[in-house]
Amino acid sequence: MRNLLIFIFIISLIIQGRNGQTEANSSEENDNKIEEGCTAKNGCTTTSKTNLNFDQDESHEKSKYFSPELSSNFYPSINMERYNFIRSYYSILRFFVSIYFILINSIFSLYNSFLPSKTVNWINASDKLFIPAHIAAEQIRENKLKSRDLVLAYIERLKIVNETVNGLTQNNTDALNLAEKCDKELANMTKEKRNELAKTKPLFGVPFTVKANIQVKGFITSRCNLYEMNSPPSTVEATVITRLLEAGAIILGITSMPNNGVSWAVDDSACGVVNNPHDTRRMSGGSSGGEGVLVASAGSLFGIGNDIGGSVRIPAYMNGIFGLKPTTFPNHTIPVDGILPKFTDYQPASEMLTMGPLVRYASDLPLIMSVLANKPLNYYSKELDLSKLRLFYLEDLDVLISEALHDEQRNVIRLVKNFFETKHNVKAQKVQFPLMNRVWELWGLTGYANSTFGFSELPSLAKEVYSGKSNYTFIQLELSILQSFTTPKDSKELEFVADKKQKLRDQLNNLLGKDGILLLPIWPTPPPFHHIEPFTPWNVLYTLLFNVLGCPAISVPVGKSRQTNLPLGVQFISSTFNEEILIGMARFMEKSFGGWVKPGHVSPTFLNNKMPVHDEI
- What would the mean pLDDT of 556-585 be, rounded to a whole number? 97
pLDDT for 20: 41
Residue 567 maps to a domain: yes
| 495-to-328, 353, 489, 498, 500 alpha-carbon distances in Å | 21, 22, 11, 5, 9
Between residues 466 and 193, the one the model is more confident about: 193
Is the pLDDT confidence value at 84 over 90?
no
Is the pLDDT confidence value at 69 over 80?
no
Angle formed by the axes of helices 365-372 and 133-141, nearest 10°? 80
What φ, ψ does residue 609 adopt, rounded to 5°?
Answer: 60, 30
- Asked whether 264 and 298 are in contact (CB, 8 A), the reply is no
Least confident of 80-94, 373-387, 473-487: 80-94
- Using CA of residue 353, residue 356, residue 358, residue 362, what is the dihedral sign? negative
- Reduced to 3 states (helix: H, G, I; strand: E, B; else coil), residue 81 is helix
Residue 420 structural domain: 129-447+487-609
Residue 531 maps to a domain: yes
Query: For strand 611-612 and strand 606-607, is the pairing parallel, antiparallel, or unpaired?
Result: antiparallel
Of 78-87, 460-469, 557-566, the range with the highest mean pLDDT is 557-566
Is the pLDDT confidence value at 282 over 90?
yes
Alpha-carbon gap, residue 476 to 390, rounded angstroms:
38
Strand order of the sheet with strand 567-573?
51-53, 428-432, 390-393, 516-520, 567-573, 553-560, 322-325, 354-359, 302-307, 207-211, 250-255, 168-171
Residue-wise pLDDT for 386-413, tens only, equals 999 999 999 999 888 899 999 999 999 9
- Reduced to 3 states (helix: H, G, I; strand: E, B; else coil), residue 567 is strand
Least confident of 58-62, 364-368, 605-609: 58-62
- What would the mean pLDDT of 293-303 be, rounded to a whole number? 99
Residue 27 maps to a domain: no
Is the pLDDT confidence value at 597 over 50?
yes
pLDDT for 344: 54
Alpha-carbon gap, residue 499 to 442, rounded angstroms:
10
Is the pLDDT confidence value at 46 over 70?
no
* DSSP state for residue 362 in the 8-state scheme: G
Q: Which H or E run contains 359?
A: strand 354-359
What spatial distance separates the first Cα and last Cα of the chain, rounded to whole Å?
A: 51
Residue 251 maps to a domain: yes
Residue 229 maps to a domain: yes
Residue-wise pLDDT for 463-520, tens only, equals 787 777 777 788 888 888 887 777 777 777 788 888 999 999 999 999 999 999 999 9
Helices assigned H by DSSP within 534-575: 541-549
Residue 68 maps to a domain: no
Q: Which residues of 128-137 are buried (b: 16+ CB within 10 A; e: fewer)?
A: bbebbbbbbb
- Asked whether 52 and 431 are in contact (CB, 8 A), the reply is yes
Task: Please give the full DSSP string across 245-285, using - where no structure is assigned.
Answer: HHTT-EEEEEE--SGGG-SSSSSS-TT-PPEETTEEEEE--
- Asked whether 448 and 483 are in contact (CB, 8 A), the reply is yes
Between residues 20 and 232, the one the model is more confident about: 232
Verify cis geometry, omega within 30 degrees of 0, for the bond prior to 341.
yes
- Reduced to 3 states (helix: H, G, I; strand: E, B; else coil), residue 329 is coil
Name the band, by pLDDT with cuts 50, 70 and 90, for residue 275: very high
pLDDT for 6: 53
Is the pLDDT confidence value at 289 over 60?
yes
pLDDT for 346: 57
Alpha-carbon gap, residue 574 to 615, rounded angstroms:
28
pLDDT for 55: 52
- Reduced to 3 states (helix: H, G, I; strand: E, B; else coil), residue 365 is helix
Least confident of 34-43, 161-170, 226-235, 393-402: 34-43
pLDDT for 494: 80
Question: CB neighbours (10 Å) of residue 463?
Answer: 15
Residue 482 maps to a domain: no
Name the band, by pLDDT with cuts 50, 70 and 90, for residue 74: very low
pLDDT for 92: 86
Is the pLDDT confidence value at 608 over 90?
no
Q: What is the pTM of this model?
A: 0.87
Residue 38 maps to a domain: no
Is the pLDDT confidence value at 65 over 60?
no
Alpha-carbon gap, residue 76 to 285, rounded angstroms:
33
The structural domain count of the chain equals 1
pLDDT for 87: 64
pLDDT for 447: 60
- Kindly report the three-state secondary structure assignment for every residue of 335-358: CCCCECCCHHHCHHHHCCCEEEEE
CATH of the domain at 382: 3.90.1300.10
Is the pLDDT confidence value at 47 over 70?
no
